[in-house]
Structure 1
């Protein structure tokens, strides 16, 4: 399931009713704890939290017209997903998240390189999401991006 939306509100309105409350709560937690400098937008067909061109004029290396992505959330058919580029780019942050996850929930971690899939949407570990959001500033993300990802 991919939601086609031009705005964040359009995206939220298109989230299935049975997932909407959990999705909106995840979004609220992100907005309440978002690192300073990030902006909410539609990014790659998801709700994205990006470094705007006003802070990082070079944009995303894959398409410099787009702002540098950092965090995305998406509603899929069987789960709600949180994508965090810092987890992908920083092995220590990845290891921290994997080790912390069982301290916040008894649910099995379902995770890819940057994607955390929450299949039991009524039990998203929101306090862990808050902790994750405090682990990297925009300046740290830009530095990490330039050192590791942009060079590839």
Structure 2
């Protein structure tokens, strides 16, 4: 589901009340743990955490006028989604996350290439998400992006 919002606060206000608290808590954890340089903004109808053009002028290879995306957070119809490009681009980070997840949550990990889906709000591993946010600096992400994703 995409919400039409111009700010993270506006996005959150549109959510059902039970989702507002979850998204607020996840947003707080992300903002407290992401390394310096990432910026929060609305991207693709979600809360996005990006490398701004002031740091990476080339922007996103698919749409260069957009900043380089890194993470997104969204309330979808049946789940809350956390999108993390580092998990997609780094086999080491993917393996770390998949290995750590069972230490926090007893149910099976529901995950796509970069999307982690949380269907039960009470089992969201906030501590693990906070730790995930600390794992990659802006410089690390740019290097990995240029090596593994960007088409030259």
TM over 0.5: yes
* TM-score, normalization by structure 1: 0.96
Q: SS of 2:100's equivalent?
A: helix
Q: Which runs of 5+ in 1 are unaligned?
A: none
Q: Is the 8 A contact 2:38 2:138 kept in 1?
A: yes
Task: Tell me, yes or no, if structure 1 residue 139 matches structure 2 residue 139.
Answer: yes
Moved more, 83-92 or 12-21: 12-21
* TM-score, normalization by structure 2: 0.96
Q: CA RMSD in A?
A: 1.0
Number of residue equivalences = 152
User: What does residue 73 of structure 1 align with?
Assistant: 73
User: What does residue 15 of structure 1 align with?
Assistant: 15
TM superposition shift of 1:129? 0.5
TM superposition shift of 1:27? 0.6
TM superposition shift of 1:5? 1.1
TM superposition shift of 1:123? 2.0
Q: Which runs of 5+ in 2 are unaligned?
A: none
Q: Is the 8 A contact 1:104 1:128 kept in 2?
A: yes
TM superposition shift of 1:151? 2.3
1:52-91 aligned at under 5 Å gives the runs: 52-91=52-91
Consecutive aligned runs of 4 or more in structure 1 exceeding 2 Å deviation: none
Task: Tell me, yes or no, if structure 1 residue 116 matches structure 2 residue 116.
Answer: yes
Q: Is the 8 A contact 1:22 1:122 kept in 2?
A: no
